[in-house]
Amino acid sequence: MEEEKPGWIDWFISFFDIRHFPRDKIARFGINIALGIVIALVSKYVLQTEWGETNINWALDYFVKSEALKEAKSSSPADRVAFIDIDYESFRGWGEPLFIPRDKLGNMIKTAAQGGAKVILLDILLEHPGYDLQKDASLRQVLEEIASSSLATKIVFPVKIGYAGDRKKNLFDDVIDKYPDRFFRGIPSLSATQNDRVVRHWRLFGRYKSEKTTRILWGTPFLAAVLACGKEKSLAELEKALVDRKTAPDKGRFSVPLENEKRIILSLKNTDFFLQRIRFFLVPK
């Protein structure tokens, strides 16, 4: 003799029994199921193809460009960031030296700071002494002058994380550690898409070992954005959550407020395709 089913099981089965649904509701239900299957198949097979990557890049590039036009009409935190890189023409004009002349780099930093830059983002690794120690000393003097001045300028130095999880040294580590509210380290980790080699993705953070503890290095563009908005205090709490995953949100995502109701979303998974896409200040919350 068949046992009588509990009441909640009957209710559950009847809830998903579409035979008693109105015809239009059955049609919508079928369409939703079909759309779900199509989206799953597209996500699984199409986006991982060259054709899929090209089209998703085209769509999101168009979105970013349209948002950029709106941002250009208003004040943006990007206006407060000075990005210092050496183009090929300048490099060739200097005789293509093995090391970037530190005195020239110091003059660029000094000019940007005096010009009102709130954040100076360097795209030059300073791991080793240059060929002229006096020029290294001149850059060190510029950093000391900025740190002890009334200027509100903050400087982001790019550093690398080694394969063993160690943080690589910077020639000016002593100055950076001396003025932790003025000088910061970040990882310059950007990547290009395979089909056209256009840089579209970034790595928002990386973990490294420091005295048997895990620490966080922020991606340089992300760090510059947070500093430009004056939200650097939020990074300490965020670092603690990223290091101690027990305090992380259930979905493993973190929201960092910027300004004008905009924010940057981070994921514990550095493989998150969409959250790793460079968006800068263009996306509203």
DSSP assignment, residue 170? -
Q: Cβ distance 112 to 83 under 8 Å?
A: no
| This prediction's pTM | 0.71
Q: Which amino acid is at 104?
A: K
What tokens appear for 32 in the block?
Answer: 């939703």
Q: Cβ distance 140 to 112 under 8 Å?
A: no
| CA 13 – CA 19 distance, rounded (Å) | 11
Q: Which residue bears the tokens 């395979």?
A: 194
pLDDT digits over 31-47, tens only?
Answer: 888 888 877 776 666 66
Per-residue pLDDT of the chain (285 residues; tens, 9 = 90+): 455 555 666 665 666 666 666 777 777 777 888 888 877 776 666 666 777 777 777 877 777 777 666 665 665 555 678 888 777 787 777 776 777 888 888 888 998 888 888 899 988 888 888 887 888 899 899 999 999 888 888 999 999 888 888 888 888 999 999 999 899 999 887 776 666 777 777 778 888 887 778 888 888 888 888 888 888 888 887 887 777 765 555 566 777 777 777 777 776 665 555 556 665 443 333
